[in-house]
Structure 1
Amino acid sequence: MKYLIFLVIFLQSTIVTFGQQNSSYKQIDNLISAKTTKSFNGVILISQKGQTKYSKTLGYSDIEKKEPLQFNDQFVIGSISKQFTAVLVLREFDKGKVDLFTPIKNYLPELTQSWADTVTIHHLLTHMHGITQLDEPTTFKAGTQYSYSQIGYDLLAKIIERTSGKSFAELSKNLFEECGMKNTFHPDNKEYTNLVKGYTERENGKIEFETDTFQNYVAAGSFLSTAEDLNIWNNKFYSGKLLKSKTMKMLKTKQTGAVRNHPIFGITEYGYGITVDTKEAILQFGQTGFAPGFVSMSFYFPKTKTSVIVLSNVAYDTNDLKKTFYYPTEILKIIRNEMKNKI
């Protein structure tokens, strides 16, 4: 009798969970299939403990030729790239080759501005350096303010090139090979074959091929990847397989002062290379990414080991990032709501 009661409770629990999951995925289906002039064009992957729970490709890799997207197509992933760079830097730290709080002048003696004697790797990782141009003074004293930066991550790449004796492209290639990420590349590594075309909506409403896709520094925002490779990355990265445990804990810790008024999410706190979100009692790590013609998102929920990855090669409404990131943020809301309901 006790066994039968347990079995009934177990089955009811399983059915509810299954129903909630189906409900969430149905909501996503409805979202991306809704009739609109700004339809979703991209790839979605949601996984749990490394196993795919939901995947979808919709739209075209080449709009002019009407070539359908494939699941293993490569996208420029914008600021998701920063976590790759952060890991490469912290691996040099784990080897004792860099110190996070030593002025970067020690690593790049050719820097002529006085800020090179006060800015540290920690400041670069947390966007608290104030550097806007290499030949100009900082906009504030290092460590006193936060200002989201691309150039800081380019400096990080230059530093580890010096300390390792290898090019940043080679370092990243070795990292991706170690992780089993066969479709993720530094753009200087021309081995990639499935890069989709990126498109931008112009002011007149026309969708045009983007010719300026790689304007970002690679270390800050121009790596190429796929949804499946980012899923592989999330599972290796957040399980602590790439860094020493103390270093990984530091990376995932909200850093003092590293707080941004994010154009999409509002007040947002940062670790090293990722955002750290604890709103609504849900721990969430990860990052959004933007490169001309490309919109991306990769978030990870450690409690359930869930990855939510969205890659798109059409950027709408680029004068309003909330609208540009409409599909990724709505998908994220659906998954977070499911988690809140379970809590």
Structure 2
Amino acid sequence: MNWLKTLCVGVVVAWVCVGPAAEAASQRQELDRLITKYQQMNQFNGSVLVANEKGVILEKGYGFANFEWQVANTPDTKFRIGSVTKQFTSMVIMQLVAEGKLQVEDPVTKYLPDYRKDTGDRITIAHLLNHTSGLPNYTNPTFFKTASRDPYTVADFVKKFCSGDLEFEPGTKFNYSNSGYFLLGAVIEKVTGQTYAQTLQQRIFDPVGMKNTGYDVSATVLPKRASGYEAQPGGYVNAPYLDMGLPYAAGSMYSTVQDLYRWDRALYEDKLLPAPLKQRMFTTALDDYAFGWHVGPIKLHDGKTEVATISHSGGINGFSALFVRAPERKEVVVLLDNTARGSKLMAMATGALSILHGIPPKQPQASIGEVVMATLEKSSAAEAIARYRTLKTTKATEYDFAERELNNVGYRLLGSGRVAEAIEIFKLNVEMFPGEGNVYDSLGEAYLAGGNKEQALVNYRRAVELNPKNTSAAETVKRLEQPAATR
């Protein structure tokens, strides 16, 4: 009898030990199947890491880091991470606050005395951190067409691109502005006496052990660096060159999924920043944005379960990134892509979190945008639009008909100089989503690119009516309403 009891206890112990491992293996397989489907449908190409409080469940590369040489992506492939950089800028600022070297309520001019006083005296460090400064965003279409390839010193760039007239009174509205984070980099250099890159290395990368993360410099021969690609009519092309000094403190970092996992785990400790200041960093102001982080719930794929998350996305020529933390169960999803497929990353992350919570994930749908683009390569815009209408009527559940699908096609056409076709695609999107301000904004931009300022104004006005927070469209309306001589 005692022998039987001992055997039973042993079986129970074995089951308890094997159970979590079996669950992790099952989740790993389901996650891998989901990501593989996205990759097979040309909706993702990059590296993935998914973890919970017990550790890493999946870390794997999908597709190629370099298409020319067919070099595979791996968990230690280095990707440009774009605006995910902002959380590191925010951390350095808050470290300086902890050391008494600055205050977030201080005006910009206290640290940048050469900055224009009429606006700089009204903009605080906090306004820059949470995108409520009113500064125009320098990363607009004109910038990418004219200045994005040219090197600038920090001081010269601030003067030319980050010193514009305010779009609204600081603190009254949210408007995402890379210009504000560029200024934060200048403040960091002024206060520390070091370059922004040196400060990141000493204050974050070295202490956390992020050996495969850094400030990107195009000229550097960087082992395991992914090449960036963009989808164009006919297939992928190498992404346009961008001087990596220009994204600066707003978006110039590279990293790996493994290093971002190390960063995630470090944020649960208080070694980098005291807990009260870390809480301040994660506290939102307007539009669910804190200091370098989006904070808000994600609804999982059962349509009802919500998970509290802290996250940020990033996009830069040829690259897309998404870093999602769910602190309650120490879950994290890191997605780094080198084909600019940012529009699919949130759906992938939500699917991954759903799997971790035992909820079946939604499977990826074929991209209607890719069908439209392929039709445009062989035929006319009229034929592509007809194809769209037919599939929407007959196979609505098989394809993704989200607003972003046609929007992406329109911008791909604009980028390749096919303005007339872009206008037709954007007009179709307006027809499909008449209540969405973004579709009118895009159509207005296309009309403006084609020289039709009257129709551009009509659509920009409608964009502002539907979304009064669209300050960029509002500024365009003001500019187009000015008399021609003044403009």
Say if 2:317 is the partner of 1:300.
no
CA distance in 2, matches of 1:299, 1:78: 15
RMSD (CA atoms): 2.8
1:26 is aligned to 2:55: no
- Alignment counterpart, residue 201 of structure 1, candidates 217, 225, 231: 231
1:237 paired to 2:267: yes
TM-aligned CA distance change 1:341 to 1:160, over 3 Å: same
SS at match of 2:214: coil
CA distance in 2, matches of 1:222, 1:234: 19
Report how far residue 164 of structure 1 moved.
1.1
* Higher strand fraction (1 or 2): 1
* The structure with more radius of gyration: 2
Between the aligned partners of 1:236 and 1:50, the Cα distance in structure 2 is: 15
Equivalent residue of 1:336, what SS? helix
Matched, 1:69 2:73: yes
- Separation in structure 1 between the aligned mates of residue 243 and residue 55 of structure 2, nearest angstrom: 32
Matched, 1:183 2:212: yes
Q: Give the stretch that moved more between structures: 56-65 or 182-191.
A: 182-191
Q: Deviations over 1:290-326 (max 9, x none)?
A: 111011111112122122111111124xxxxxxx331
Higher relative contact order (CA 8 A, sep 6+): 1
Alignment of 1:277-316 (within 5 A): 277-279=296-298, 280-316=305-341
Taking structure 2 as the reference length, the TM-score comes to: 0.60
For residues 102 and 73 of structure 1, do their structure 2 counterparts lie closer, same or farther at Cα, with a shift above 3 Å needed?
same
User: Could you say what secondary structure the match of 2:227 adopts?
Assistant: coil
TM superposition shift of 1:18: 5.9
Q: Amino acid of the residue matched to residue 297 of structure 2?
A: T
Cα distance, 1:10–1:128 mapped onto 2, change above 3 Å: farther
Matched ranges for 1:128-147 at <5 A: 128-132=132-136, 133-147=161-175
Greater Cα shift, 104-113 or 147-156: 104-113
Counterpart Cα distance in 2 of 1:101 and 1:62 = 45
Aligned position for 2:285? 256
Structure 2 unaligned spans of 5+: 137-160, 299-304, 360-487
Supply the AA of the counterpart residue of 2:317.
P
Equivalent position SS for 1:146 = coil
Distance 2:118 2:275 in 1: 35
Preserved contact between residue 198 and residue 213 of structure 1 (Cα < 8 Å): no
Query: Paired residue for 2:145?
Result: none
Q: 1:97 aligns with which of 98, 101, 111?
A: 101
**Secondary structure in structure 2 of the residue aligned to 1:325:** helix
Is 2:349 the counterpart of 1:332?
Answer: yes
Note the residue ranges of structure 1 that are not aligned, 5 or more in a row: 260-268, 317-323
CA distance in structure 2 between the partners assigned to 1:25 and 1:68 by the alignment: 20
Identity %: 26
The residue type paired with residue 346 of structure 2 is: T
Distance of 1:315 and 1:106 partners within structure 2: 38
- TM-score by structure 1 length? 0.84
Quote the Cα distance in structure 1 between the aligned partners of 2:13 and 2:293: 40
Partner of 2:143: none
The reply on whether 1:51 has 2:74 as its aligned counterpart is no
1:188 offset after TM fit, Å? Answer: 4.0
Q: In the alignment, what sits opposite 1:156?
A: 184
Q: Of the candidates 268, 271, 286, which is equivalent to residue 290 of structure 2?
A: 271
Distance across 2 between alignment mates of 1:166 and 1:39: 40
The CA deviation string for residues 201-247 of structure 1, in whole angstroms up to 9 with x for no partner, is: 12x14201113355652211120111111111111023332101110
Instruction: Tell me if the contact between 1:113 and 1:136 (Cα under 8 Å) persists in the aligned partners.
Output: no
Structure with greater helix percent: 2
2:212 partner SS: coil
Report the CA distance between 1:289 and its aligned residue.
1.1
SS state of the match for residue 215, structure 2?
Answer: coil
1:118-172 Cα offsets, whole Å, 9 max, x none, are 1000000000001124342100000000001111111001111111111111101
Does structure 1 retain, via aligned residues, the 8 Å contact 2:50–2:58?
A: yes
Distance of 2:264 and 2:247 partners within structure 1: 22
